[in-house]
Every structure is written in C-alpha cells, then in structure tokens.
Amino acid sequence: MRKLLLILFVASFSAQAPAFDGPIGKPYIYKTSADKERKMEIFFPEGHEPAKSKVPGMILFHGGGWSGGNLSQFHAACAYFASRGLVCATAEYQMLGKGDAKLPAGESKKRVCVTDAKSAIRWFKQNAAELGIDPERIITGGGSAGGHISALATMNPGLDDPADPKEIDTKVVAYLWFNPAFAPDDNKDPEIDILNHMKADLPPAVVFFGDKDTWKKGWDSAHAKWKELETKSIELHIAEGQPHGFFNKDPWRTITLIEADKFLAKHGLLTGEPTLKTPATGEKLVAAP
C-alpha cells in the first residue's frame, strides 16, 4: 500500500491561473508521475473520526484545457460538501504542455490526465479506512476538462498506471459534472473519446451547462448517445445566457452547489436540506429533458 503522506502546504498560485476563493484542504501526495509528486487536497467534516464513521467520499478534478488550472477551482465546493458530512478531495494530475515531448501518432495529451485521475480515485479508495470514507460510495466529477477526465477515469478500462493496485477499481456511485468538455475531435484517439466508453447503466449524474457554452455541442452528442442507450440516470440543468465556466462564480456557483446537494440527497449520499442560501438575485437553472 502506498504510504498515506501528509505534507506541508505552501499556497502559491501562478499569476496566470484563475484565483478562486475558499479554504484550503489538507494536502497529501497520492503518486509520482513524470518525476513529479501529484497532490490531493482533502476536506473533512468537522469532528470527523475515521475510526468511528465511514461517510461517502467525493473527488473532483479541476479544468484548464488538460494543460492548466489548479486545485483552487473546487476549494469552495469541497469545503461546502465537507460541511454537509462528506470527505471531499480535489486532485491535480499530469498535464502536457507545448514544450513536452512529441506524442506518438494517434495519442492525445489527455491520456496522462486520465491515468493520474484513475490513480487518484484508487488511492482515495485504498486509504478509505484512514480517511474515514466508504470505498463503495465514492462520488466523482469536475469542471470542463476535469469533467471529461473524471468520466474517462471511471469508464475506460485501460490507461492504467502499472504501479496502481490492480485489485482496486475506479467505479463510482455518482457524478457531478460542471460543463464537462467532451470534444468532437476526441475521436482521433479512441482511448479518450467518451463515445467509445459509454454503457447504459451510468451511475446517477447531475450536469450543469450554460446554453451559450461552445463546448455544449460535445455534451449534446454524448447525451444523445446515452438517450439512445436508454440511460435514465442523467439530470441536466441549463443556465440560460451563460457561457463556459459560469459555475465558477456567484451567484451561479451557489446555485449549482445547491442543486448538486439536492441531487446527492435524492440518491442517499447526503441527508437534510442544503445549508447554502439561494441568491436573492433570482437566477435559476432550467431542468432539461
């Protein structure tokens, strides 16, 4: 078993990276890839005692075009769901930039992101006892590229890190997808194309999109295929007039978190009512068929 390692965290964000508010979780190293330690920040419910309770766990992956972004994107979401009783994590992953080695023909730079996401989910499950989570009740998701990565990490049986424990799977019980970026040109590499890895029995998923989001076309293709498979587990919510990434700022961040909370409660992963207050500005999500 990989050693559960708590590390000292010093907050430092790139000047180019978007800054999101919210507290910082406890940092852990879940693996090393490309000679770099990969970090996960974990948020625990107040008074959580791992030896006495096994609560559902959530792990979210940030966006950034598969080559940027950072953990701050989901600090606020993780802190909120931890306050509601979940153990919540947000994990970084390897990202290839323009200066990296040229990939073999037919391989996308997105592959390494998926491989690390699979490792993160496995590490989360492997250390369930120490973290006080139920490894059979893991929720995943993410924003934009992170939504895509979370989907492929749980649906594609390949792209594993050989160092990962083979006996631990990456199955989850629910998804939170914030404008997941499913790109039409992913068909150039079947390993990272969502359309190649779909099954009818998708775990419950809640999805948020702005109707002005240029990435919605890729989602629409994926959603149409799930409908052809007669998948009934997807809840799609539309923010009218909103572009890509609308969920990152209030009032929409609060609105989407409230809806995600209700979704998790409906599926027995949370109890009680959302503790966030609905913004007084009146914006609303529209449920899509």
Q: 104 pLDDT exceeds 60?
A: yes
Residue 2: predicted pLDDT = 43
pLDDT of residue 141: 98
**Over 90: is that where the pLDDT of 12 sits?**
no
Q: Mapping DSSP to helix (H, G, I), strand (E, B) and coil, where does residue 120 land?
A: helix
Looking at the domain assignment, is residue 164 inside a domain? yes
19 Cβ contact partners less than 8 Å away, ≥ 6 residues apart: 13, 72
Structurally, how many domains does the chain consist of? 1
Plot region of 196 (φ>0 → left; ψ -120 to 50 → alpha; else → beta): alpha
Place of tokens 């895509």: 148
Please check whether residue 157 lies inside any domain of the structure.
yes
Residue 177 lies in a domain: yes
- Residues 6 or more apart whose CB falls under 8 angstroms from that of 219 comprise 179, 180, 182, 207, 209
Per DSSP, 246 falls in state G
Per-residue pLDDT band at 11 (split at 50, 70, 90): very low
CATH of the domain at 83: 3.40.50.1820
pLDDT band at 124 (very low <50, low <70, confident <90, very high): very high
Q: Is residue 261 part of a domain?
A: yes
Residue ranges of E strands in the chain: 26-33, 36-43, 55-61, 87-91, 133-143, 174-178, 205-210, 234-239, 286-288
Mean pLDDT of 109-124: 98
Range of the domain at 255: 27-93+110-288
Residue 227 counted as domain residue = yes
pLDDT in tens, 74-95: 999 999 999 999 999 999 999 9
Residue type (1 letter), 78: C
Q: By CB neighbour count within 10 A (0-12 exposed, 13-18 middle, 19+ buried), where does 25 fall? A: buried
104 in a domain, yes or no? no
Q: Could you tell me which residue, 151 or 105, shows the higher pLDDT?
A: 151
DSSP line for 179-234: S----GGGGGSGGG-GGGS--S-PPPEEEEEETT-TTHHHHHHHHHHHHHTT---E
Q: Is the pLDDT of residue 172 over 80?
A: yes
Query: Edge to edge, what strands does the sheet with 286-288 contain?
Result: 26-33, 36-43, 87-91, 55-61, 133-143, 174-178, 205-210, 234-239, 286-288
What pLDDT was estimated at residue 63? 97
Assigned domain for 12 exists: no
Q: Residue 22's pLDDT is what?
A: 61
What is the pLDDT at residue 98? 72
Q: Is residue 124 part of a domain?
A: yes
